[in-house]
């Protein structure tokens, strides 16, 4: 493991990078590099084939037309889907949770096929969910609370094969009660912030899945202080 470089695919940042989601890839890269694990970010832009050889795939949020275009591209170049069968780690944020599911239905009532990676369907909610979110990680997946900022119209219903990522304490998440989804090594969430700078425990969980080793804690006082501030502000 120490010899090979962990490749972090930043999937379609030109279409799905509206909410600073590039930050998730940076956090994964730096948290590995600072611990002596070789890591690099591989941006995959629209129009380019999607490799199936990366270790971690990060998919961000985007506007409606961009999201439709992204899912079309990812279905035509199914490298991400192949990587999932090879146990790659995947983080899908906002649009990610919608396009990874079986289908998503927009406010105009048109249903689009998803990538079928997680057992879920999404549809447009009555109002846009905007604001700080606090949620408790489900099944003791990681320590501490999950914090982030949500800004989405979609609501998501999980099928039996997908488990929630967390239970909502403040905010809306998928449906007002649970937030995100976990299926195999795919983690989805509605939370921006971006989510990994806000939640280093989740970042380290993804790193441990990708490297197959436990990582030592990393003491970043600014991160600890910010988490405390955000939790205080949301409570």
Partner 1 sequence: MNDSPARLPLRTAAAVKLGNLSSTLSQKMGLGAGGMIGGRVALKLDPQALARLTHGRRVAVVTGTNGKTTSTMMLARAVGALGEVATNHSGANMPDGHVTALSKQPDAPYAVLECDEGYFPAVAGASNPAVAVILNLSRDQLDRVGEVRTIERSLRDTITALRDCTIVANCDDVMVTSAAWNARKVIWVATGTGWHHDSASCPRCGNPIRWQGEHWHCTGCDLARPHPNWITADEAMITPEHQKLELRLTLPGKFNQANAVMASAAAHAMGVPTEEAVRRLRGVSNVSGRYRTIQRNGRSARLLLSKNPAGWSETLTVVKEANHPAVLVINAQEADGRDLSWLWDVPFERLQGRTVIASGERATDLAVRLTYAEVQHTIVPDPLKAIDQMPPGAVEVIANYTAFRDLNARAAADE
Which residues are known binding-site members? 128
Among 137, 154, 173, 194, contact with partner 1 (rule: CB under 8 A): 194
As a whole number of Å, the end-to-end CA separation of the chain is 41
User: Nearer Cβ to partner 1, position 121 or 153?
Assistant: 153
148-187 residues near partner 1, rule: CB under 8 A: 149, 151
77 in catalytic set? no
Contact 167, 135 (CB under 8 A): yes
| Residues touching partner 1, count (CB under 8 A) | 36
| Three-state SS at 210 | helix
Q: Which of 41, 141, 226, 231 binds partner 1 (CB under 8 A)?
A: 226
Return the residue of 182, 192, 210, 211 that touches partner 1, per CB under 8 A. Answer: 192
Which of the following is catalytic: 54, 94, 152, 188? 94
x-or-dash string of contact with partner 1, 99-138, rule CB under 8 A: -------------------------------xxx------
Stretch 8-47 residues interacting with partner 1 (CB under 8 A): 14-15, 17-23, 26-27, 30, 45-47
User: What is the token pair recorded at 123?
Assistant: 């549809």
Q: Find the binder of partner 1 among 40, 48, 143, 229 (CB under 8 A).
A: 229
Catalytic-residue membership of 94: yes
Site string for partner 1, 63-102 (x = CB under 8 A): xxxx-xx---------------------------------
Instruction: List residues near partner 1 by CB under 8 A.
Output: 14-15, 17-23, 26-27, 30, 45-47, 63-66, 68-69, 130-132, 149, 151, 192-194, 197, 220, 222-223, 225-226, 229
Q: Catalytic amino acids?
A: 94, 192
């Amino acid at each position: 493991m120490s010899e090979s470089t962990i490749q972090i695919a930043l999937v379609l940042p030109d279409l799905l990078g509206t909410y600073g989601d590039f930050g998730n890839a940076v956090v994964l890269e730096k948290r590995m590099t600072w611990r002596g694990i070789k890591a690099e970010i591989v941006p995959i832009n629209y129009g380019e084939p999607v490799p199936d050889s990366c270790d971690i795939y990060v998919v961000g949020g985007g506007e409606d037309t961009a999201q439709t275009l992204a899912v079309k591209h990812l279905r035509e170049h199914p490298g991400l889907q192949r990587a999932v069968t090879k146990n790659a780690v995947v983080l899908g944020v906002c649009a990610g949770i919608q396009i990874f599911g079986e289908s998503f239905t927009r406010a105009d009532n048109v249903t689009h096929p998803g990538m079928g990676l997680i057992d879920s369907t999404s549809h447009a909610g009555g109002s846009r969910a905007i604001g700080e979110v606090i949620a408790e990680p489900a099944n003791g997946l990681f320590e501490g609370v999950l914090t982030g900022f949500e800004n989405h119209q979609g609501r998501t219903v999980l099928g039996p094969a997908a488990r929630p990522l967390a239970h909502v304490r403040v905010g809306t998440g998928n449906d007002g009660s649970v937030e995100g989804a976990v299926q195999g090594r795919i983690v989805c969430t509605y939370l921006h912030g971006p989510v990994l700078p806000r939640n280093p425990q989740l970042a380290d969980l993804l790193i441990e899945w990708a490297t197959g080793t436990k990582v030592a804690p990393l003491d970043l006082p600014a991160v600890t202080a910010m988490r405390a501030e955000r939790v205080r502000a949301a409570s």
